[in-house]
Amino acid sequence: MSGAKPLVIFTTLLIEKSPQALPLGAACVASSVKHSPLTKDLCDVELVSFCKEDNHDASYIASELLKKNPKIVGFSVFVWNRVVLEKAAVLLKEKGVKVIAGGPEVTARPESFSSFDFAVSGEGEFVVPNVIKNLLVESGNSQNLAPGKIPPAEKTHEGSYNFSKTDNSQSSSCADLPQTSPYLDGTLDPSLYGGALWELARGCPFKCSYCYESKGSKKVRQFALDRIEKELELFAEKKVNQVFVLDPTYNANKERAVKLLNLIAKKTPDTFYYFEARAEFIDRQLARAFTKIPCALQIGLQSADENVLRLVNRPFNRKQFVKNISILNEEGVVFGLDVIYGLPGDTFKGFKNSVDFAVSQYPNNLEIFCLSVLPGTDLYDRASELKLTFEEVPPYHIIKSETYSPDDLEKSERIAKACSVFYNEGRAVPWFNTILHACSMRASDFFAEFYDFATKLSGVKEKFFSGTCTAGHSEIETLQCEFVSYKFHQKKLDRLLDAALDIIHFNGAYSRKTDTGKSESVTLKYPAEYIDSEYAMDLNFFVKNVKKHADRIIL
């Protein structure tokens, strides 16, 4: 069409179909280009996303983008999509499209992105409009980009350029943050993704060595409350049912945290929120504020060993952690914990101790990760000093250290997979410690034995432990009961087995009813009123004091 503006596309490859994985980074940069005085009249802007779950490879991504005839494509690059997006960029370059890379992977090592025409370090909202403007204007014709025109920039690698910008992270003023919201201007529609990623602040007051924030300023820049309130009103209008809050330490400022929780309760009382929080900042007032809205917290434990955490620059007070987590449990706040295996100075035995400690805190979920030595982090810079061997390509997983052998890492991975299926997907938190106590087992040993038991069964490994678990909760419950029956027989605890299975069946049915809203029926060998009581926390006491009585209930 004659007179049409050149098209600039911003895109990424999402790791999964989830509101937790929507293309917020690419959308933020797209929004800035739409509104910047440098570019708003020069080009049209479009946001396009692809997904690994749909098996979108480089050829598919490139062909779909070429159908739109873009002049420039900006890629949001992360650990999980770098390889695919680099290949897609090469295919686009062959067709004369200018390609730009940005995101945390690029900021860490811009000189390594030679597959792209340009590599943008830092916050793209401030840098990319100038890049786009130079590409379009310097060509002398915004309709046809002249090849080989290089905008003013610092050359960092042959064929790759890093557009530098003054570091804004030293200031805590919201004026130093992007002034446009991709939600409020329509660039990103949360209703298309089943939820929203919501950015409340940038920066982190901590400098954990394994995190991208480890070498940045400790300043936190907070988005203005008027913008936050308008976005909440949009979420209410769009009937967004879940929001993942992007603030690495939501409760670092308790006064602001409580104020925002009150605002959330007022504007979107029916929306479920997920927060990242630090246990050391939990107190009774804040815990009660969290109970005013539907929400869950995710708390980074990483390790229960103070010496290990000291090596990665992460403060930890075990006694204070236990005290504050107990407040969450007492107030009924849903929370999960994170643990990392392969940390410098840690051992397989130490990792198992961390898993055992984490489970003893009754988290709603326990996420266990392999350490990634990410370029651009303090840990990456100190890897030789700490004698860490790791993958040179994404996801940069640890291969071995002085204290953690490859065999130990494999055993840790199996525990992580077993925990994910049995504890998380299996929704075992209400009864798991009861089963452990009856068996006199440590959680880490239980998970290790469950993995060995389950993977010997036909078809289980492929369905339950190869990537994403594809089994439904009822199937997982069946597998849980098979393993619990096996362990109870092995340990000569048959007198407790009926009570144990009743507890698993009752809680499983209740969780499915809560999840789907559909009625569930369950047949029990003990009265339901006692199964759903404190009596069931100690199986020996329960069996000694409660008489069997067949009971079929509808939940």
Sequence spans of domains, the chain: 7-162, 189-404, 426-555
Strands 160-162 and 154-157: antiparallel
pLDDT at 352: 98
Task: Identify which of 390, 386, 415 has the alpha carbon closest to the alpha carbon of residue 400.
Answer: 390
Architecture per CATH, domain 7-162, reads as 3-Layer(aba) Sandwich (3.40)
Q: Which residues, in sequence order, are CB contacts of 294 under 8 Å at separation 6+?
A: 270, 271, 272, 273
Task: Give the CA dihedral 69, 74, 78, 82, nearest 10 degrees.
Answer: 50
- Asked whether 14 and 27 are in contact (CB, 8 A), the reply is no
285 vs 280: CA distance, rounded Å:
14
Q: What 8-state DSSP symbol labels residue 424?
A: I
In this structure, how many other beta carbons lie within 10 angstroms of the beta carbon of residue 244? 20
Reduce the DSSP state of residue 396 to 3 states and report it. coil
160-173 pLDDT, tens digit each? 343 333 233 333 45
Give bridge partners of residue 198 from the DSSP assignment.
245
User: Can you say how many angstroms the Cα of residue 519 is from the centroid of all Cα atoms in its chain?
Assistant: 31
- Asked whether 241 and 274 are in contact (CB, 8 A), the reply is no
Least confident of 30-44, 205-219, 372-386: 205-219
SS3 content of the chain, % helix, strand, coil (to 5): 45, 15, 40
In this structure, how many other beta carbons lie within 10 angstroms of the beta carbon of residue 102? 31
Which tokens sit at 202? 């940038």
Q: How confident is the model at residue 359 (pLDDT cuts 50, 70, 90)?
A: very high
pLDDT at 180: 92
DSSP 490-509: HTT-HHHHHHHHHHHHHHHH
Q: Which residues, in sequence order, are CB contacts of 381 under 8 Å at separation 6+?
A: 215
Please compute the mean of the pLDDT values over residues 230-252 and round it to a whole number.
Answer: 93
Which tokens sit at 243? 């929001």
Q: How confident is the model at residue 544 (pLDDT cuts 50, 70, 90)?
A: very high
Please compute the mean of the pLDDT values over residues 493-513 and round it to a whole number.
Answer: 96
DSSP 251-305: GGSHHHHHHHHHHHHHH-TT-EEEEEE-GGG--HHHHHHHTTSSEEEEEEEE-S-
226 vs 174: CA distance, rounded Å:
11
Please compute the mean of the pLDDT values over residues 242-266 and round it to a whole number.
Answer: 93
3-state DSSP of 40-99: CCCCEEEEEEEEHHHCCCHHHHHHHHHCCCCCEEEEECCCCCHHHHHHHHHHHHHCCCEE
pLDDT at 466: 82
Q: Which residue has the higher pLDDT, 466 or 260?
A: 260
49-99 pLDDT, tens digit each? 999 989 899 999 999 999 999 999 999 999 889 999 999 999 999 999 999
225 vs 547: CA distance, rounded Å:
58
Q: Which amino acid is at 288?
A: R
Does pLDDT of 26 surpass 60? Answer: yes
Least confident of 86-95, 327-336, 498-507, 525-534: 525-534
Does pLDDT of 308 surpass 90? Answer: yes
pLDDT at 139: 59
159: left (phi over 0), alpha (psi -120 to 50) or beta: left
439-465 pLDDT, tens digit each? 999 999 999 999 999 999 988 888 888
Q: Which CATH superfamily is 189-404 part of?
A: Aldolase class I (3.20.20.70)
pLDDT at 163: 36
pLDDT at 484: 98
Does pLDDT of 155 surpass 90? Answer: no
pLDDT at 490: 97
Give the count of alpha carbons within 13 A of 120, CB side only: 23
